Amino acid sequence: MNTVWIIENTFRKTVSAHPAANTTTSLKHHRQESLGANIDAMALSTAMDGAFWSMSSVSPTTFWGYFFCIIWIHRYLRLIVHTISHWCYRSYPIPAKPSFTSADVTVILPTIHNVFEELRTPLLSILACNPAELILVTPIDKYAGLQRLADSLGHNNIRVLYTPIANKRLQVCEALPKVKTKITIMADDDVEWPSTTVPWLLAPFENPRMGGVVTCQTVKRIWSGPWSARIFNWLGAAYIERRNFEISATHNIDGGTSCMSGRTGAYRTEILASHDFLEGFKTEKWGKYNLNADDDNFVTRWLVNHQWQTWVQYDPECEIETTLENSTKFLYQCSRWARSNWRSNYTSLQQLWCSYALHFATFTSLAFVVDPLLLASCWWATADWDMADRKRAFWAQFIFMFGFTKVIKLVGLFRKNPSDILFLPVTIIFGYFHGLIKIYALFTLKMTSWGSRADGDTNDDVRLTPRPKRSSSLTTPPGRVHLIRYQDEHNVSEKPITRAAGRPEQTEDQHVDEKVALLSAECHDE
């Protein structure tokens, strides 16, 4: 503020010392007045700024130092812990004498696929694992075509069922009562299993409190074709790899997970076939709506809320392969997953660490906001440092941010295919864009459409429907109310009510009241 005061007074003294120059033109007057006004504004701003920091008794560098530390810890503490946990993760080993074998497994595969021949490879990979039964469920209009495909596979342990409409929850509920084995595996119609998958899925069930088990996943890669398709294919592979990283880390810490993936998951049949589960699965409520989407999130919430343990088997011998969209349709998939997270994450807050590191992070990890704030606060917090040290601190944060935090979750992919490092800049840019997708998803929570497959939005109108209002017939009508019974009079007619001598004639209402009193007396006597 003193500096501004000196500049302003020096300027005014210079003007008053040269009256000829001061009166040459009105334009000079105007410019001088404008400059004086700007200097006054600068002085006022500086004074207010100084007053703020004086009142807060915290210097700007101290404030930004605290700000940087808080944001840094919130954003990166979980990453560092997860990195250690992920690399220390160990799957349940396959026991020498397992309690469950493939003969104890039924696979349920709901599908709405239009091109049945594309199901052949996934189905054969599942059948190669020798489950006791494979149950396929499809809408009634596709039943005949799916049955023909099942007959052509040459296995007698395939059953095909149908539902009136295309809805995964209804299709699963159609199949669950038919399951006779102790373990049920639910799978998507686009996954391929290694032949060693089932023993790995069954191993954790040696623990009697284990309710559900999923496996690690990978995306089927494409190595030729347009660069746009290869980029979207990479983004899908990176998404799945980050998910593998997160759920293995959190399971290793407190057994928590964001979601038990519906692509392939094994569960105790006693859980899925219970009346309460089936009823909740078919009639889940979300706000004022009936929710028939997010089936895998419901299963996750059910296991967590009923104190069942979950696990993920992270081993190449049980790594299933799936497909994601290799075009802009991938963005529709991302928005659908983001909506599921917004709708579901806050309902699964049981494990302390997982609540902080996965569920709460959904609402706070917007990279396009946090990353610039971290870099800016790092620079402002070191304002009173030597310039050389200040630059070192800034570039250290920059390298840590882009050389470690954006890479560490993808190391598994880079080890398999080192050439994928070329896609790293795309991953970073998409990470910022994904924050916008999450915000868009927050404001479109009522949307349940897939948007990414032609057969995915059939009967979309039943995925989120308004809950029916309470029937007005349950409201007591105004006026005097009488009990009216039908076909259950306890033989009142056999006990005629006689009128005493001299008693006035009864009205119809009085007659009904007397019947009610007589019935009450009979019930009391019984």
pLDDT at 460: 52
Residues 526, 520: Cα–Cα separation, whole Å = 10
Cα–Cα dist 303/54, whole Å: 54
* Cβ(439)–Cβ(433) below 8 Å: no
Give mean pLDDT, residues 86-109: 95
pLDDT above 60 for 481 = no
Does residue 22 surpass a pLDDT of 60?
Answer: no
Give me the pLDDT at residue 489, please: 46
DSSP E strands in 82-176: the ranges are 105-110, 133-139, 158-163
| Count of alpha carbons within 13 angstroms of residue 166, beta-carbon side | 17
Q: Are 175 and 108 within 8 A, CB to CB?
A: yes
Adjacent-strand bridge partners of 217: 320
> 307 or 500: which carries more pLDDT confidence?
307
Q: What is the C-alpha to C-alpha distance for residues 54 and 44, in angstroms, rounded to an integer?
A: 15
Which pLDDT tens digit goes with each residue over 28-67? 444 445 445 454 555 545 544 554 445 456 788 999 999 9
Query: Quick one: pLDDT at residue 17?
Result: 42
Cβ contact 281:172 at 8 Å: yes
Each residue's pLDDT tens digit, 371-380: 999 999 999 9
In 10 A of CB 234, how many CB atoms?
A: 24
Residue range 429-441, pLDDT digits in tens: 999 999 999 999 8
Q: Residue 462's pLDDT is what?
A: 56
DSSP category for residue 221? P
Name the fold adopted by 89-364+406-466. Answer: Spore Coat Polysaccharide Biosynthesis Protein SpsA; Chain A (3.90.550)
**Cα torsion through 109, 115, 293, 321, rounded to 10:** 60
Residue 486: band (very low, low, confident or very high) from pLDDT cuts 50, 70, 90 = very low
Q: Which of 102, 463, 180 is nearest to 297 (CA)?
A: 463
Helix axes 168-175, 295-305, angle to 10 degrees: 60
Average of per-residue pLDDT values in the chain: 80
Convert 18-27 to b/e letters by CB count within 10 Å (16 or more is b): eeeeeeeeee
Stretch(es) of the chain classified as CATH 3.90.550.10: 89-364+406-466
More confident residue, 202 or 300: 202
Strands 210-215 and 183-187: unpaired
Q: With H, G, I as helix, E, B as strand and everything else as coil, classify residue 247.
A: helix
- What backbone torsions phi and psi does residue 434 show, to the nearest 5 degrees? -65, -30
pLDDT tens figures, 229-238: 999 999 999 9
Identify whether the C-beta of residue 321 lies closer than 8 Å to the C-beta of residue 227.
no
Q: What is the pLDDT, as a whole number, of residue 153?
A: 94
Question: pLDDT tens digits for 397-411?
Answer: 999 999 999 999 999
Residue located via tokens 């052949």? 120
Residue 301 contacts residue 348 (beta carbons within 8 Å)? yes
Question: Residue 184 is which amino acid?
Answer: T
Tell me which of 98 and 466 has the higher pLDDT.
98
Determine which of 180-194, 231-245, 434-448 has the lowest per-residue pLDDT on average: 434-448
Of 83, 78, 425, 431, the C-alpha closest to 245 is 83
Q: What is the pLDDT of residue 480?
A: 62
The pLDDT value given to residue 59: 86
pLDDT in tens, 355-375: 777 767 766 778 999 999 999
Structure tokens at 104: 């104890």
- In the chain, the percentage of residues whose pLDDT exceeds 90 is 54
Q: At what angle do helices 143-152 and 120-127 cross, to 10 degrees?
A: 50
CA distance 54 to 497: 94
Residue 245 in tokens: 């990283």
- Among residues 403, 398, 402, 406, the alpha carbon closest in space to that of 375 is found at 398
pLDDT the model gives residue 14: 40
CA distance 12 to 32: 9
For the chain, the distance separating the N- and C-terminal CA atoms, rounded to the nearest angstrom, is 95
3-state helix, strand, coil in the chain (%, to 5): 60, 10, 30
Length of the chain: 526
pLDDT of residue 455: 59
Q: Give CA 248 to chain center in angstroms.
A: 17
Tokens of 353: 């660490």
> Where residue 341 falls among pLDDT bands split at 50, 70, 90?
confident
Q: Rounded mean pLDDT of 444-456?
A: 66
What is d(CA 314, CA 147) in angstroms, rounded to the nearest whole number?
Answer: 34
**Parallel, antiparallel, or unpaired for β 183-187 and 105-110?**
parallel
pLDDT mean over 148-153: 94
Strand partners, 107: 134, 185
Q: Torsions phi, psi of 309, nearest 5?
A: -85, 155
Please tell me the predicted confidence (pLDDT) of residue 321.
96
The pLDDT of residue 282: 85
Tell the residue number behind the tokens 């503490």, with chain if given.
Answer: 77
CB 257, CB 247: distance < 8 Å = yes
Reply yes or no on whether the pLDDT at 103 is more than 80: yes
β-pairing, 183-187 with 264-268? antiparallel
CB 330 within 8 A of CB 236: yes
What is the rounded distance in angstroms from the CA atom of residue 319 to the CA atom of residue 413?
A: 13
